[in-house]
Structure 1
């Protein structure tokens, strides 16, 4: 008998094994690999260790600039040291902001190497997160890596793409698989910055009740870039945000933040699980109260909060994520810790539940063909019969919504393996259809939107053990990342062709706000009635567009509510 209590994981794009282990971005982890690991790495009294001391960091940065591969750029906040990988781009790691625990971050005023890097060839440590070796992360983690084409000269006015990684807001880093931005920077003739932000409880559960610290981190990252990119050949006014999964969700939060609007010109959202919506303020209060109880620290007891080990904070976070849906069902099980519509920073739900604001930025929205593939086919490792479909739909949607779905005809359960329509349902419900609804609303209120669906992908490391994701024609969640970055190992002809196409389209979008390029099939902008979803890769349809199916305007979001409508968030 299937444990249908796990079904919410199934359609949320996460593994049924653990709510917090779901989006591990390609990491291969076992309990044995972290059992007994120290919370902090051992002290190194050599140069590497000394350079981690605050008083010596600036001196070490200057030494690094003079002793590295010789690539130096003078910025308004100091000398930036970089290294070249020989591809025609240089890499510059930097700390963009600092923050004391559970306080708002402040933008760096001096060019400083990230924690974990003792010279320009070093890479930043990740932000604290569960199920990884503690030596790989540090609480002082607000860093980014700039990838700059060597052909760019100061004040060239080139655009900047700021990439925000995914990981359900609890995992991931700027050094995740496939996120080397060198090839993307060269192909788009832009600066590519890959950033990291505070994750989980440290970014979203300040005991005082302060909300959205991680969102504010990304705002500071944009402000930092505006200050320094002219020195590398960029324009402070040509910053485009791009991200995948919860990284795209972070961008949606920034699109709903009026105070951040002037800091970026356009946005690219890949595989955003829009169905979840933002948390509302009352839900955040309930989660915060539970978290404070788990840590044993009151909202005002700073001494208690600062004395908590990272291990204790992460353990409390894991318990909170496990308990969240019983505290408030609107949290769901995939991203219970996420941006909060607090009314001060994030002022609109940016969905179908409330008046949509006037907008003017161009956005590019994409999904992959099989967003729910990893979850469905890791939960159900063998073919299942049609009775499971109805049970799964009821477990995830409730009886009323499931009944409408079953009667719609959009999901063919007569096939021999019901995992196929179940995967389609998950993809439509959590990702594709709410993305199309957002596109229609965006256009109706003054913006321009382009919608696409990947029919060719590159298997992301996290999907390597899922047979379905290895099948020809399957494009699973995260399989678009290495296509965009041009980091596919040994790409096939089809993968290489799509990488070339997407990088050309991104280059056009960064500069013109449109992904249309001479010589490529026209990509029609969305309208209020037809999103004109462009097929990316695969054997193209005659129109080059993807059929709407259940994502037609009258079904999802109308006949069948999204979760954010059900919970009014």
Structure 2
């Protein structure tokens, strides 16, 4: 049997919680308040010059649909406007830092905004493989970004793992509906903060970008935002099929020993019991249901009701109109190859390349990869070098470029980019490969976008200024081009014009197509969503 491509390469949105990174601590200053249709919003001045408001945006009980709140309340029943929301339940973090009452967001509002000058809003959706992460994780203080872009920045949370995506009665996509309710909440309150509810841009990294792709495939969400920024979306996964979701759900119900209809049993489960069953399922999912993969076995479902199109190459592409920014980093697969698959400092013999690819892709796809010119193997070199390039192309870069071509062919606009400068994210700090000059690993774009890199180098500061300037233009106009910066050409069906951001490695600053030609990945070699007929 062919093992899922993620069983060894496991090129995924790496779970934040695995490393138990502590939440960011913010410095509070003076209290502020704003009158909204839902009541008085209490907040505080953030250290970087924006007013910060934490708020519960929706209510829900365990494994029930969420509903938008009707009153403004601080998260977790707090009466302290400087308090930050607890995370949603997840593994490998202190239980005192999470709660099932976690449908909260943090608004960052520049102090000079008024209701007389409506501003755009950037809604950030965190990553973490849909089973970890939060609005308070490293680098996600949106104050600097809000001030730099003259916009409101909202960083949101949504139910994770089994609590958001494994509903015992067979319902699906509750985590997606949580995000939709966050957008509905913002639609009600943004004008009170000087925002224009019709000018919302979604942005997210890794599985956060995957969540945005899900919303792009959900017609009922279309009116809630007007543009989107997808950073490092592992698009190779596609969505889960209803059949695979049903098998995952049945297995989970067995693991917690609760039937689909036994709500008393479900409500009596402890969070430890739920999380332990979730981990067992995630560890076994790839062997039981190969289309899920190990890196992100729980993710949104193509249910035909909320999510109505795969938004990939397996079905007719819908008509679209929203502008997109689609970016990757230069070495997306670095943390996986150099830390998870082959940890340690020693090189891996070149002869290991083909067996790893074969175990991941199966014989037919491996034969095509091995005979192609795209992944040369130095007989005396380190097998991790071509594996990293292969993983980056296969899971992230090439499916992103395929989406860009499909998007513009069906009415939308797309701007494609690649980070060649980054700022090391905490999860990568102990991976020697990710600290090498010129290497930009998965998640190393987060600090750049938010302007939160500790002690930034001149190159990092320059890139942060450029990307925040481009984001400011994009969220206001749908176009990231501004006077004084090099042109960023929009993608076409024949050339995505992927622009390098940071250090130009080619004369014109355009990323070479290489294996991302339409005739290779997605045609000669199928993506997983094609191979498994998701």
TM tier relative to shorter chain: over 0.9
- Pick closer, same or farther for the CA change 1:116–1:494 going to 2, 3 Å: farther
Residue of structure 2 equivalent to 1:371: 332
Q: Does 1:23 align with 2:15?
A: yes
Q: 1:433 aligns with which of 382, 398, 402?
A: 398
1:95-152: CA deviation from partner (whole Å, max 9, x where unpaired): 0001011111000111100117431111000000011111110001000000000010
Residue of structure 1 equivalent to 2:349: 385
Query: How far apart in 1 are the matches of 2:51 and 2:385?
Result: 44
Query: 1:139-178 counterparts in 2 under 5 A?
Result: 139-178=100-139
Query: How far apart in 1 are the matches of 2:19 and 2:10?
Result: 19
Query: How far apart in 2 are the matches of 1:469 and 1:86?
Result: 30
Q: Does 1:506 align with 2:498?
A: no
Matched residue SS, 1:357 = coil
Q: 2:76 aligns with which of 115, 123, 132?
A: 115
Q: For the Cα contact (< 8 Å) 2:121–2:196, is it kept in 1? A: yes
Q: Does 1:477 align with 2:477?
A: no
Residue of structure 1 equivalent to 2:25: none
Matched residue SS, 2:308 = coil
Q: For the Cα contact (< 8 Å) 1:26–1:462, is it kept in 2? A: no
1:11 to partner: Cα distance? 2.4
Matched residue SS, 1:388 = helix
Residue of structure 2 equivalent to 1:42: none
- Pick closer, same or farther for the CA change 1:84–1:26 going to 2, 3 Å: farther
Residue of structure 2 equivalent to 1:40: none
Q: For the Cα contact (< 8 Å) 1:26–1:463, is it kept in 2? A: no
Query: 1:152-551 counterparts in 2 under 5 A?
Result: 152-378=113-339, 379-380=341-342, 381=344, 382-414=346-378, 416-551=381-516
1:309-351: CA deviation from partner (whole Å, max 9, x where unpaired): 1111111111111121222111111111100000000000000
- TM-score, with structure 2 as normaliser: 0.96
- Pick closer, same or farther for the CA change 1:14–1:432 going to 2, 3 Å: closer
Q: Does 1:102 align with 2:63?
A: yes
Residue of structure 2 equivalent to 1:12: 10
Query: How far apart in 1 are the matches of 2:460 and 2:323?
Result: 26
1:453-499: CA deviation from partner (whole Å, max 9, x where unpaired): 00000000000000000011000000000000000000000000000
The answer for unaligned runs of 5 or more in structure 1 is 16-21, 31-66
Aligned length: 524
Q: CA RMSD in A?
A: 1.7
1:24 to partner: Cα distance? 1.6
Q: For the Cα contact (< 8 Å) 2:43–2:51, is it kept in 1? A: yes
Query: How far apart in 2 are the matches of 1:84 and 1:283?
Result: 47
Q: For the Cα contact (< 8 Å) 1:160–1:239, is it kept in 2? A: yes
- Pick closer, same or farther for the CA change 1:72–1:360 going to 2, 3 Å: same
Query: How far apart in 2 are the matches of 1:354 and 1:410?
Result: 28
Query: How far apart in 2 are the matches of 1:277 and 1:100?
Result: 29
1:82 to partner: Cα distance? 1.1
- Pick closer, same or farther for the CA change 1:368–1:6 going to 2, 3 Å: same
The answer for unaligned runs of 5 or more in structure 2 is 23-27
Query: How far apart in 2 are the matches of 1:536 and 1:26?
Result: 29
1:446 to partner: Cα distance? 0.5
Q: Does 1:126 align with 2:87?
A: yes
Residue of structure 2 equivalent to 1:72: 33
Q: For the Cα contact (< 8 Å) 1:155–1:234, is it kept in 2? A: no
- TM-score, with structure 1 as normaliser: 0.90
Find runs of 4+ consecutive structure 1 residues off by over 3 angstroms. 4-7, 25-30
1:220-264: CA deviation from partner (whole Å, max 9, x where unpaired): 000000110110010010010000000000000000000000000
Q: 1:565 aligns with which of 525, 530, 534?
A: 530
1:9 to partner: Cα distance? 4.5
Q: For the Cα contact (< 8 Å) 2:12–2:296, is it kept in 1? A: no
